[in-house]
Chains A and B, each alone.
Chain A
């Protein structure tokens, strides 16, 4: 103890104390913080019923007790299981704050609960279904056709390789690098928030799979080296100044300096 007290004025003492305090706080939080919101989960096989209960607990305040919609939020009748799976699995729903842009955040419902919610909403009216694994298999898609479809329908908002882009008034189309194949399909099919709806007639299921193949292909990175975010000429210009001109001016200063 004496040794510890002797070091109480050590330079690193505040840092060590800070670290300990953080560890303690974090540990307490991890133990005591509530886990994902749940309703009363009785062990029943009826997903729709469970889904309804989850819905009443988490969604009805905005979407209405029968999902018929309110002034706050649209009706969910006919949006389909795909919409629910997309919105809830990406954490967009339940929404943090009402507005046109639903931000992706850590999901509040686990897989099972999401499935139950989806089943309930699907039961309200026919709508896009959750795609099968085969429907979203990138290997089975044609990346070349996917590139064509993506370029015409998606690149204007999401950027040529899916790096994301700006919409008006603070809204944006997010980056697609980390989006699961299933969610890519579901987003196209259901048109979440500002995104338009690409139903099976406008972009057929095969074409959707081609788009998925294209996006998965992009995850290999660039053939030219570091992709620098694939943001286009503005970021390239920035790097030309920072790296190119920076290094060259550094070299010039070295050249002009007198040798010691």
Chain B
């Protein structure tokens, strides 16, 4: 045995050495001798195994019957306890009936069935040269017959037709699946000037005085009850949800209002609740740090600093909803968001 650490290369080779007079490699000792099992040598053990197997099958039968009994006697009544009981009984009896069969079958195979190893030959997967020759001849004969080798225009025409026909099916499928394909809808939400902010999910409008410093409110636009029971509402809500927090006005370092405009009211700021990363609701408001944490991928936004990203995979701050107060003291939106809410998409700035 030699283990040479060749300093010239980074090799780490432990090689074998050959000496004349010895075969190059060891030879296969063959399949190991069969070792008799207890059930092979001891007829009592054999009988005992058989009895165990019968018992297991019998246990399985009992499990199956018990399962039927459980099904017909334990009826759901809507309570947690009853459902739990029914699930438990049906499932455990089912398991007994299944495991009984499984364990019995395997014990049978291991203990009673012959365990002498068999040897099968493997054949080369590659077809023999004769078969290949005939196969190639078949194919060339077929090509000859069709004449496609000589008829170029025919080939071109056939290929064109075959390439085009799937479109007759695929285009209607893909196109219809996309509805009206109007992606400019991503740009706008149902917030408009004068729309009141309301509590999610009750729809009660929010007064500025409702909020104290440290308060948070989950906000939706005020809509009719009828509209809020429609399907369209859920799709619009998916862009329109807003988080309202009241900060100490001194704590607010910046927000997104442009020069000359005020988008907040007396320390109350409203930002879109849809994360600019991939769209989860950003909802974990930490009162003391005024950080807003998204639970999905931990993007963190600073509500006192224009909802800038302070940690995590989001890149852009949450868009701010410009708010004001109407003459009854209710909070209202001044306008829609100044940019599309939620995750980025290719045409976002176009």
Determine whether the beta carbon of B300 is less than 8 Å from that of A168: yes
Known: A167-B293, A260-B38. A152 touches B106 (CB 8 A): no
Q: Give chain B residues whose Cβ lies under 8 Å from the Cβ of A193.
A: 287-288
Known: A223-B87, A225-B87, A225-B88. A255 touches B217 (CB 8 A): no
Residue of A nearest to B207 (CB): A201
Q: Give chain B residues whose Cβ lies under 8 Å from the Cβ of A152.
A: 200-201, 218
Q: Which of A171-215 contact B (CB under 8 A)?
A: 171, 191, 193-199, 201-202
B83 CB-CB contact with A under 8 Å: yes
The stretch of B65-73, B134-142, B144-152, B277-285 that contacts the partner chain: B277-285
Determine whether the beta carbon of B291 is less than 8 Å from that of A191: no
Q: Give chain B residues whose Cβ lies under 8 Å from the Cβ of A44.
A: none
Determine whether the beta carbon of A196 is less than 8 Å from that of B216: yes
B22 CB-CB contact with A under 8 Å: no
A131 CB-CB contact with B under 8 Å: no
For the complex, what is the distance from the CA of A224 to the CA of B288, rounded to whole Å? 39
Q: Can you list 26 A-B pairs with a CB-CB distance of less than 8 A?
A: A148-B201, A157-B283, A157-B284, A167-B286, A168-B291, A168-B293, A168-B300, A171-B286, A196-B216, A197-B213, A198-B216, A199-B210, A199-B211, A202-B199, A202-B206, A221-B84, A223-B87, A224-B83, A225-B84, A225-B88, A258-B35, A258-B110, A259-B38, A259-B39, A259-B115, A260-B37
A interface residues (Cβ-Cβ under 8 A, vs B): 100, 148-149, 152-153, 156-157, 165, 167-168, 171, 191, 193-199, 201-202, 220-225, 251, 254-255, 257-260
Known: A152-B201, A220-B80, A259-B115. A199 touches B87 (CB 8 A): no
B254 CB-CB contact with A under 8 Å: no
Determine whether the beta carbon of A222 is less than 8 Å from that of B37: no
Q: Which of A157, A199, A223, A255 has the most CB of B within 10 A?
A: A223
What per-residue 1/0 map shows which CB atoms of B199-215 lie under 8 Å from chain A? 11100001101111111
Q: Give chain B residues whose Cβ lies under 8 Å from the Cβ of A258.
A: 35, 37, 110, 115
Q: Give chain A residues whose Cβ lies under 8 Å from the Cβ of B289.
A: 100, 168, 194
Known: A152-B200, A171-B286, A259-B39. A197 touches B88 (CB 8 A): no
Instruction: Give chain B nearest CB distance to A134 CB in angstroms.
Output: 22
Instruction: Give chain A nearest CB distance to B242 CB in angstroms.
Output: 13
Q: How many residue pairs, one in A and one in B, have C-beta atoms under 8 Å apart?
A: 100
For the complex, what is the distance from the CA of A7 to the CA of B209, rounded to whole Å? 78
Residue of A nearest to B282 (CB): A156
Known contacts A157-B283, A168-B291, A223-B87; 20 additional CB pairs below 8 A are A100-B289, A153-B218, A156-B281, A156-B283, A156-B295, A167-B284, A167-B286, A168-B293, A191-B215, A193-B288, A194-B288, A194-B289, A196-B216, A197-B287, A220-B81, A221-B84, A222-B80, A224-B87, A225-B87, A260-B37
Residue of B nearest to A192 (CB): B287
Instruction: Give chain B nearest CB distance to A176 CB in angstroms.
Output: 16
For the complex, what is the distance from the CA of A153 to the CA of B287, rounded to whole Å? 14
Please classify how large the interface on chain B is, using the bins under 10, 10 to 19, 20 to 34, 35 or more.
Answer: 35 or more
B111 CB-CB contact with A under 8 Å: yes
B245 CB-CB contact with A under 8 Å: yes
Known: A168-B293, A197-B212, A202-B217. A223 touches B84 (CB 8 A): yes
Determine whether the beta carbon of A165 is less than 8 Å from that of B295: yes
Residue of A nearest to B287 (CB): A196
B298 CB-CB contact with A under 8 Å: yes
Q: Give chain B residues whose Cβ lies under 8 Å from the Cβ of A259.
A: 37-39, 110-111, 115
Q: Which of B207-254 contact A (CB under 8 A)?
A: 207, 209-218, 245
Q: Give chain A residues whose Cβ lies under 8 Å from the Cβ of B288.
A: 100, 193-194
For the complex, what is the distance from the CA of A224 to the CA of B82, rounded to whole Å? 10
Determine whether the beta carbon of A201 is less than 8 Å from that of B84: no
For the complex, what is the distance from the CA of A260 to the CA of B216, rounded to whole Å? 69
Q: Give chain B residues whose Cβ lies under 8 Å from the Cβ of A149.
A: 201
What per-residue 1/0 map shows which CB atoms of B101-144 lie under 8 Å from chain A? 01000100011000100000000000000000000000000000
B311 CB-CB contact with A under 8 Å: yes
For the complex, what is the distance from the CA of A197 to the CA of B35, rounded to whole Å? 76
For the complex, what is the distance from the CA of A153 to the CA of B241, rounded to whole Å? 13
Instruction: Give chain B nearest CB distance to A143 CB in angstroms.
Output: 12
Q: Give chain A residues whose Cβ lies under 8 Å from the Cβ of B245.
A: 196
For the complex, what is the distance from the CA of A257 to the CA of B115, rounded to whole Å? 12
Instruction: Give chain B nearest CB distance to A29 CB in angstroms.
Output: 36
Q: Give chain B residues whose Cβ lies under 8 Å from the Cβ of A156.
A: 281, 283-284, 295
Instruction: Give chain B nearest CB distance to A38 CB in angstroms.
Output: 31
For the complex, what is the distance from the CA of A220 to the CA of B298, rounded to whole Å? 32
